[in-house]
Amino acid sequence: MSEQKWTTEELGAIQEDILAALETVIDPELGIDIVNLGLIYEVNLAENGYCEVKMTLTTMGCPLADVITEEIHQALRDIEEVKEVEVKLVWYPAWTTDRMSRYARISLGIR
């Protein structure tokens, strides 16, 4: 059995860094970051630096999927522990405005 590369605390800090970086990725149509919009469903980081981001989009036929995916890759590039990024689009559970943060709701005038 091999030793874990990071302690639980270190992994938590890295995941916070990843989420903070993802908050810099703005949905071009709504002008709000993808984390506060609730588009990020899951982020996993393996010990080899492979980072898997499971996310959805507000609509299935979103023409900006490639733009957002590329911006995710760029945002995570500066995190030393992340060596490879894969963005997986998932459609279940379907995104609804209930997934949005309070900040996003206020910004978009949604109650």
Say whether pTM exceeds 0.85.
Answer: yes
The answer to whether 6 and 13 have CB atoms below 8 angstroms apart is no
Residues for the chain: how many in total?
A: 111
At residue 26, the pLDDT reads: 95
Mean pLDDT along residues 95-105: 93
Predicted confidence band at 1 (pLDDT cuts at 50, 70, 90)? very low
Question: Which domains are assigned to the chain?
Answer: 8-108 (3.30.300.130)
At residue 63, the pLDDT reads: 82
Angle at 77 between CA 104 and CA 91, to 5 degrees: 50
16-75 tens-digit pLDDT? 999 999 999 999 989 999 999 999 999 999 989 999 999 999 888 888 899 999 999 999
Specify the DSSP class assigned to residue 95.
P
